[in-house]
Every structure is written in C-alpha cells, then in structure tokens.
Amino acid sequence: MVLLFSIVSGQESVDHSVKKLKVGDVAPNWSIKSESGKFEFLKNWTVKKNRQLRNPSVQPDRHVVLFTFFATWCPPCVNQLEPLELVYQKYKNKKIKFFVIDGTEHHRTTWDEAWVQGAPKTRQFFIDNNINIPFLEDTDVTGKKYGVKGIPTIFVIDKFGIIQLIRVGYTKEEEEEDFVSDLSEIIDKLLLDK
C-alpha cells in the first residue's frame, strides 16, 4: 500500500493511480514556464513516431523524459528528491531530460493553509539541498491534464511520447536503493530503444 500526499486536502490518503492516463498512452503535450521565465515544451524532446520535434534545427535528437509533480510543502515530495537527484546525476549526460514540475508558488497564491504559506521557495530549497534537477513552475494545469490526484507523481515518457511509467507517492520506508534501481532499469531500457 502506498500512502501519498493529496494535493487536494493536504491529508494522507490511499490512492494508487492516476485516473486519466495509463502506461501505453500518448503523453499529453505541455509547455511550462521555467524559473528563467522561458517556456519548456515536452515536444522539444519527445513526439509520436513519424512526427518532428518542435525545433529540430536546434535540438534534433529525441530524448526520454522523466518528470515529477512536486511542491516544497509536501513531505513525500521532499523525501523523494535526494534519490531522484542520484538518478539525475547518473543520467544527466545521456539522452534523457529530467524536470520537477513545481506547484509551490501557485499553491501559495491559491491556498490559505499555514503549511503551504510557510513552505520554502523552490530555488532556495534546491540550493540548500544540492538539487540540480531543473524545475518548471506549474499552475496545476499540467497536473490536471495528466489526471494527477496526489504528489509526488513521476512520469517516464519514451522517445516517442508514450508513457512508460507512472509512479505515485513516496514513503520513507521505501529503500532509496530500490527507488534508484527501479528508475535506472526503465531508463536503461528506454535509452537503448531506437
């Protein structure tokens, strides 16, 4: 049983799935503002077979894409960051892109709860915790598009825009080694796929 932090109520609840999407579905496209103010597009890295990447003259190679929905006020999200950083460091020079899709500031402007209002700002939090994964500032639009009911939720998308993994929740009881190993196994397989 996986306990995850519900982004709706802030209470722990049992929910094992993302309602809209499943492994094997085409990943919905997204464009999300980066911390620099520029937009990042999923289509920059992965698109369906027989389609062209968004800007092939600048970035011609397809990549695997791993992203997680996150907020600094979410304890399971925070616990997941260190092992996720280990995976990022292992693969950062391969044809895979990592993103943290961050809802912290959006939630701060839309929720009155003290635990959200007192949450650290993401950039400083990443600096303080030596997290180098790029983060994108979402307004819950992408989470809704992906049917995310709780965070953290990781998606791994192959080079052809197909969802290969949906991983919901993270608990301290999970072995960091197992988490890193599980993600590494699927990434290794997808990087070999032509």
**pLDDT tens digits for 18-45?**
557 999 999 999 999 998 889 999 999 9
- Position 77 pLDDT exceeds 50: yes
What distance lies between CA 80 and its chain's CA centroid?
A: 11
Contacts of 157 (CB under 8 A, 6+ apart): 27, 42, 46, 64, 65, 66, 67, 163, 164
What distances in angstroms separate CA 30 from CA 35, 44, 165, one per listed residue?
16, 10, 17
Model confidence at 12, pLDDT cuts 50, 70, 90, reads: very low
pLDDT of residue 79: 94
What is the C-alpha to C-alpha distance for residues 47 and 157, in angstroms, rounded to an integer? Answer: 10
Mean pLDDT, rounded, for 124-144: 94
pLDDT of residue 59: 82
pLDDT of residue 19: 54
Domain locations in the chain as residue ranges: 18-192
Token code pair at residue 146: 């992906």
What is the C-alpha to C-alpha distance for residues 189 and 105, in angstroms, rounded to an integer? Answer: 35
pTM of the full structure: 0.88
Q: What is the pLDDT of residues 38-58, one digit of tens each?
A: 999 999 999 998 888 988 888
Q: What is the CATH number of domain 18-192?
A: 3.40.30.10
